[in-house]
Chains A and B, each alone.
Chain A
C-alpha cells in the first residue's frame, strides 16, 4: 500500500534562517507531488507541484522553492524565512491520472517563524 511521510512534524525557526521540509512517498512510482500551505483557520493554498523528477511548477512566487531530486521525494526550501512563512505545510501525492483520483496528504509540518 502507498504511504506518505512528511517531517518534521513541528518546527520553530528564527526569521532569516533556512528551511528544508522533506516529503517521501512509498508504494507508487511517478506520482504527482504537491506542496500546500494552510494559514491558521484558513483553506489550503497550493505552493508547488511536480509531475516528475526535476519538474517543478510554482503557483505562488515567494521566497520558497521546491525540488524533486528523486521520483518519490519532494523538498520545500527557503534560504531566509520570513514571519509570513509561518503556517501548516502539507505535502500530497496523487494516485494515478484519473479524473476522480484524490490527493493523499501527509500529516503536515507546523512551522512557526519567530
Chain B
C-alpha cells in the first residue's frame, strides 16, 4: 500500500513567490520521521529537511520549512522566496519506525516544480 502520497505532479511558481508542496503519509507507528529531498535535472538527490513525529516545532532550514500536521498526517514543504535554481523534482520520504536500525526510506512519487522569471 502507498505510504507516501504527493498529489501534485507538477507546479509552476513565479520567482520570489512561496510555494507549498503537499505530502500525506500513512503509518500506524507513533514514532517516525519525514524527510524532503530535491532532485535537479542532473539526478542527484539532495537532502533538504527533516521532521520527527515527536518534534513539537515545525522544522525550518533556511528558505525551507515544514508544515507538519500530525493529526492530518501531512508534512507539507514550504519554499519561500523561490529562486530559478529551485526548479527540480521534490520528494517526500518517511522512515518508520524511528527505532528501525536499517534506516530505510520510503519515497512518494514526487512533485515537479518549475520556477518562472
Contact = CB atoms under 8 A, between A and B. Distances in A.
Interface of A: 32, 34, 36, 42-46, 49, 51, 57, 59, 88, 90, 92, 94, 97, 99-108, 110
Contacts of A108: 43-44
B103 A32 contact: yes
User: Contact residue range for chain B?
Assistant: 20 to 34
A104 B46 CA distance: 8
B110 A34 contact: no
B98 interface: yes
B52 A49 contact: no
Contacts of A94: 103
Contacts of A51: 101-102
Given A90-B45, A105-B44, A97 B101 contact: yes
